[in-house]
Structure 1
Amino acid sequence: MKRPISVLVPQDNEIDATPTYLFDYASLYREDARLAGASWFRDARYGLGIHFGLYSLLGRGERVLCEGGLKESEYRALTDLFTCARFDALELVEFAIASGMRYIRFTARGEDGFSLFNTSRSSFNSAASKARRDLLGELASACEYHGIGLCVQYSLGTDMNHEQGPRPGRDLTVADLERYREFVYGQLEELLTQYGSLAAICLEGADQVGSHALAEHFESENVIRYIHHIQPQVLVSLGQGLVGSEDFLCCGEDAPAEDAPELERGWIHRNTGKTLEYRLSMGGKAWGYHVESAGKHLREDGVWSQLAKVCKADGNLLVGTALMPDGSLDYEDVTTLVDVGKRIEDNGFPR
């Protein structure tokens, strides 16, 4: 179902199509949508990464299929068990707000190739699973209602489902890459035209595509231009930077050293004017739900310490939480992050 961009009607009765998360930047948005998005993102500082998928049912992290030891047919059969019984988009957004966060990043399609939205490009998706739900659509509506920026994470460099998709140990031909690129463009069009105004699209694993000798055939620059053409305010990242024209860059808990391998450091030290988003996993062991992490999640002081480090570096912090197999929040993370949110409310962001 298509969701129109929210509109507000100013006093002069002129319709303003400013996305709800950019209401405070409405004047700038009318002049330069991309600059408004970039300004908002720099000011946002703190976001929630939500990790959920078929892998959650296994409790071994999000890379369980990539790491082997499981047949693809066995993994696909998990769709019959994927009910998302306690996935509540409104609860997720309100939790992010209570935690002092200003945007949400949601994995629309992970390395396993499973899409958490209603896509016509593949039957391997949540709407065709036991759940029969468009999880991204539900979250988009909740974010729009509350004025929270929605960033979509999309695995570009690894796809364990697509016949021509890149994966560990697979050598891609030009024809393979062209067919996969057509598939990617099709899904990006769906994301950009059916889910209202997005704040960002984060193309994960782009460095893996870039490591192929056929990287030029993927035309990453054109992917960025395509996204901007449909929604000019959307910020695009390709990990730590692959081509240099990304709107922001990403890293782990620490930025890579200047003498790190090129694919590891990307453009981080060359595009110093762009916001750098640091990432922190509450579970530590993996981004997706992992049973061995139970009781070992980060506590308030650990999150606050990382937030202070990132604020000092003038970056953003994305804190990742793994939803439980039924789609509910992990109580360990709820307690910790709401306490961090209270600390932000009382004292502001650390200086």
Structure 2
Amino acid sequence: MTATHAPSYLKGYEQRYRIDPRGAALAWFKDAKYGLFLHYGLYSVDARHEWIQYLERIPVAEYAKLMDRFTADRFDAGYICDLTIDAGMKYINITTRHHDSFCLFETKQTPFNSVNSPAHRDLIAELAEACRGRGLGLFFYYSHGRDWRHPHGPRNEDWGGAPRPKYDTPDPAYAPDHDYDLGKYVDFVAAQIRELLTQYGPVAGIWLDGRGVPMSGDWSKFKLTELYAMIRELQPQCLISYKEGVTGTEDFRAPEYKATEADDKPIEICATLFPDKLWGYSSELVHQSKTADEVWDMIARARERNANLLLNTGPCGDGSIHPIHDRVLREVGARLRKKGFPGEK
């Protein structure tokens, strides 16, 4: 890709892309309106929720045993992309690395990744190729503020926002006080995001999470200004979001469930098909998922704010999309094709 060749998802925005890649990407993003969020990781294998390690204070080594059961044998990137298109969506956002630090991509920074699991697959590479071939934008969710495994990740004694599980005694995976260095974690994050931006072709955006941690103290310690500069240098069209924002230089806000802040930037409301603010797959609660009518109302509320809706599904442990969610997404897509987006002629 060169400055004169726009990524496939920016088809129709080529002329602006040649002059202003970031401006072209923002225009596309506002027009896209609707995207698919995928929460997938080791927690999916347990099939209860994505915060099990934190809420149940599962030791780091014990939690890591879930990796032995991670096969992803029904994760089908082509199917996911075709579902996204049939749902009327223009982009996908996937958890490349959630708070548990397990990575769905090949990385030199840690062996704790899908390539080293029984799956032996780089799921991000597969999804990137499928998106590129279908003209879908691909965002990379990345847990920035929280890491429940890294020896030098943010500590509870230094930060708020649930940086680590509240173990009764310090987990042996964590660096002792005399050896602890947050800078090593900051460097780890930068190295991984560099990998994500150099291994998988054009990226629509880096979507950071864990905002409550840096916002609870001196966020400059996380070197976000430098991180954002690196992202924009490596891929000028790549948008940046950190939920409601940390530095103020992000490209759009991404609040959960509803927009509450001033509309000085584009807004993407993230919400989930699961009940009870659940993002990862739950075999028990999937049957209480939102209906097509409820999703339609969510889209309507987002459009009233001129906001995008990023709608989440959590793939099952094997990587498949639950039939209930598949059906709801397709029903909404059929309605969009028939009626257009709510509030639009």
Shared fold per TM-score greater than 0.5: yes
**Partner SS for 1:65:** helix
Aligned-residue Cα RMSD (Å) equals 1.7
Query: Residues 210-254 of structure 1: CA distance to partner in whole angstroms, max 9, x if unpaired?
Result: 3134x2221212211110011000000011111110000011111
Which residue of 2 is the match for residue 134 of structure 1?
122
Which residue of 1 is the match for residue 187 of structure 2?
182
Contact 2:35 2:311 in 1 (8 A): yes
**Aligned ranges 1:236-251 → 2 under 5 Å:** 236-251=240-255
Which residue of 1 is the match for residue 23 of structure 2?
35
Deviation at 1:68, TM superposition (A): 2.8
CA distance in 2, matches of 1:169, 1:330: 39
Amino acid aligned to 1:305: D
Aligned pair partner of 1:202 in 202, 207, 216: 207
**Aligned ranges 1:1-351 → 2 under 5 Å:** 5=1, 16-166=4-154, 168=156, 176-213=181-218, 215-256=219-260, 268-269=261-262, 272-285=263-276, 286-351=278-343
CA distance in 1, matches of 2:252, 2:25: 11
Deviation at 1:169, TM superposition (A): 5.2
Question: When the two structures are aligned, how many residues end up with a matched partner?
Answer: 325
Deviation at 1:207, TM superposition (A): 3.1
Deviation at 1:37, TM superposition (A): 0.6
**Partner SS for 1:108:** strand
CA distance in 2, matches of 1:169, 1:125: 28
CA distance in 1, matches of 2:187, 2:292: 44
Deviation at 1:114, TM superposition (A): 0.4
The normalised TM-score by structure 2 is 0.91
Query: Residues 116-156 of structure 1: CA distance to partner in whole angstroms, max 9, x if unpaired?
Result: 00001000000111100000000000000000000000000
CA distance in 2, matches of 1:210, 1:280: 22
CA distance in 2, matches of 1:255, 1:18: 31
CA distance in 2, matches of 1:21, 1:112: 30
The normalised TM-score by structure 1 is 0.89
Distance verdict in 2 for CA 1:103–1:167, change over 3 Å: farther
**Partner SS for 1:36:** helix
Deviation at 1:170, TM superposition (A): 5.9
Query: Residues 178-230 of structure 1: CA distance to partner in whole angstroms, max 9, x if unpaired?
Result: 111110111011000001000010110133123134x2221212211110011
Structure 1 residue runs of 4 or more that deviate by more than 4 Å after TM superposition = 167-175
Contact 2:4 2:17 in 1 (8 A): no
Amino acid aligned to 2:188: F
Q: Where does structure 1 lack aligned partners over 5 or more consecutive residues? A: 8-14, 257-267
Contact 2:268 2:309 in 1 (8 A): yes
Amino acid aligned to 1:275: P
Query: Residues 70-95 of structure 1: CA distance to partner in whole angstroms, max 9, x if unpaired?
Result: 22212111111100010000000000
Q: Where does structure 2 lack aligned partners over 5 or more consecutive residues? A: 164-176
Which residue of 2 is the match for residue 264 of structure 1?
none
Give the share of equivalent positions with the same residue, in percent.
38
Distance verdict in 2 for CA 1:131–1:170, change over 3 Å: farther
